[in-house]
Amino acid sequence: MSSLSGIRVVELAGLAPGPFAGLMLSDYGASVLRIDRVTPPATPSPDVLVRGKSSIKLDLKSAAGRRVLLRLLRDGGVDVLIDPFRPGVLEKLGLDPYNVLLKTNPRLIVARLTGFRRDGKYATMAGHDINYLAVSGVLAMLGPTDTNSHNDEDDDDAAPEASRGTRRRPLPPSPPGNLLADFAGGGHMCVTGILMALIHRSRTGKGQIVEANMVDGVSYLATAPRLSQKIPGQWDRPRGENLVDGGCPYYNVYECKEPGTYMSVAALEPQFFAALCRGLQLRLNEDGESSEWGGRREDRQTWPRLKAVLRERFRSKTRKEWEDIFDGTDACCLPVLSHQELEASGYQQRAAVALSYSPPREPAGGGWEIRTLAPGEGGETLLRDWAGWRQGRDYEIEHGGGVVLRSTANL
């Protein structure tokens, strides 16, 4: 039995972070019912985060549609409702979480997930992942350092900047896809709040409102680097010049002989750096210094030259050759693999966390299969299992697929 077996979740259909929260709950055993609109809105891409979910269609703008939802929350023993809408949407629908939803089902946990803070200056504005990163302070930390106007391929890369007579120009931050705010700071943090609320309910019997937003979520993820900005040697330098953001030569990515193939290097500790140098056939003296770059690796004055040495050395062999050299070592030097390569190699995707006594559902097809969930698919089974409802006796399916309760339903 999975950890969340028996937990019933209603997921109001939305984009990435809300469905991801529902997916995580489903993967760990929860029964998840997605509420789709009768007339779905245009979306950039289909929802593929549907493992283990079912769907019904409701017109929540109608009194009949809202009646179905409220009766289901009460009579279906629903534990969690995921609200992915902008602030004020549920209230305008007459579904105020405090005055309507919790009064309908006092044990209900209403998880509200927004992009911006509900009480901040951006609360009423639309946004996407890059916007949430931008106003959280995190986007400013991501991407390459200032670059010099000379060609990075030049052999004089390690020469002092002043001797080249070049000037530096800032590069814009680099958005990391929509992973950080949408999925990590948004959906994952929302699930964390839901689990804490479930623990609280197990002690008190009371449901509550979980307020999550992607700005606060991703800001929380950045707690360590934010505080470390005030510690010399950690994150106190401009973007791309710090220890683990691309500034350090031995925490970086290097291209191999074949263009577009790379090795990742994270040899921060002295013993790991020594193993890296052995694999690269770079000699170190007893103090960890090398004439190749003229000083100790911790001395930032040596970093330009050291980076040039590593760049040149990695370009001397193919990625496969470097893999063979570093496999089984503690050099912290591994290939940069694509999802396509992983799938072709037979790599099996797994649930995020393994539990010995309450295992999660493992993704079908090794986690590579694409599946979507059609609006209305499988939902009638959950209506019967949760609330004992049957079509024709308790509800009907209107033209367009929306569920409405029969006026004679004994509910």
Please list the active-site residues: 182
User: Which residues touch 411 (CB under 8 Å, ≥6 apart)?
Assistant: 71, 75, 389, 394, 405
Q: How many residues does the chain have?
A: 411
- Left if phi > 0, otherwise alpha if psi is -120 to 50, otherwise beta: which for 336? beta
Cβ neighbourhood burial of 82 (10 Å; 0-12, 13-18, 19+)? buried
Interior angle at CA 353, CA 351 and CA 354, nearest 5: 90
Whole-angstrom distance, CA of residue 96 vs CA of residue 364: 37
User: Which residues touch 4 (CB under 8 Å, ≥6 apart)?
Assistant: 25, 28, 29, 30
> Three-state DSSP class for 98?
helix
The closest alpha carbon to 217, from 290, 312, 325, 114, belongs to 114
Backbone angles phi, psi at 383, to 5 degrees: -60, -40
Whole-angstrom distance, CA of residue 408 vs CA of residue 394: 8
Backbone angles phi, psi at 167, to 5 degrees: -120, 160
The closest alpha carbon to 307, from 362, 241, 258, 227, belongs to 241
Q: Which two tokens stand for residue 402?
A: 């929306």
Q: Which two tokens stand for residue 342?
A: 């992983």
Backbone angles phi, psi at 280, to 5 degrees: -85, -5
Whole-angstrom distance, CA of residue 254 vs CA of residue 333: 10
Whole-angstrom distance, CA of residue 338 vs CA of residue 37: 36
Whole-angstrom distance, CA of residue 51 vs CA of residue 26: 7
The closest alpha carbon to 10, from 38, 33, 28, 30, belongs to 33
The runs of H, that is alpha helices, within 105-188 are 129-136, 161-164
